[in-house]
């Protein structure tokens, strides 16, 4: 099976712009989670989607949003980018809910640089 794929792999944006990142989970996986990784804050949970519904949300401002499609592919959007949004954004998929029972499989990440 193909692993989790994320596009694009690298992205450069300027402050104030918005960005959309995409994640395709492993075939058959219905749960998709997003994490932000920065040197200062480490790995932080953004949100989790299952069957097109947001099931859990981390402590991030409303500028961060996401959605999941019927084929389980997920997108996350960050509006009005700030310099502090520069990070590696990781997507992870898992097979079923409750997700806490399952291993998460991570994609290679999208590295976002905000100038």
> CB-based burial of residue 50 (10 Å sphere; 0-12 exposed, 13-18 middle, 19+ buried)?
buried
Using CB under 8 A as the criterion, which residues of the chain lie in contact with other proteins when the complex forms?
4, 33, 35, 42-45, 48, 55-58, 88, 90, 92, 98-101, 103-109, 111
Shortest distance, position 107 Cβ to other proteins, whole Å: 5
* Inter-residue contact 97 to 32 (CB < 8 Å): no
In the complex, the smallest distance separating the C-beta of residue 9 from other proteins, rounded to whole angstroms, is: 10
Question: Considering beta carbons, is residue 18 or 52 the nearer one to other proteins?
Answer: 52
């Amino acid at each position: 099976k193909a692993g989790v794929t994320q596009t694009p792999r690298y992205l450069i944006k300027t402050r104030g712009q918005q960005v959309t990142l995409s994640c395709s989970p492993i075939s058959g996986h219905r749960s998709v989670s997003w994490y932000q990784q920065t040197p200062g804050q480490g790995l932080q949970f953004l949100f989790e989607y299952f069957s097109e519904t947001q099931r859990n949300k981390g402590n991030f401002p409303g500028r961060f949003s996401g959605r999941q499609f019927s084929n389980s592919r997920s997108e996350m959007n960050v509006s009005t980018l700030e310099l502090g949004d520069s990070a590696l954004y990781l997507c992870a998929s898992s097979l079923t809910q409750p997700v806490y029972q399952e291993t998460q499989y991570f994609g290679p990440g999208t590295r976002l640089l905000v100038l």
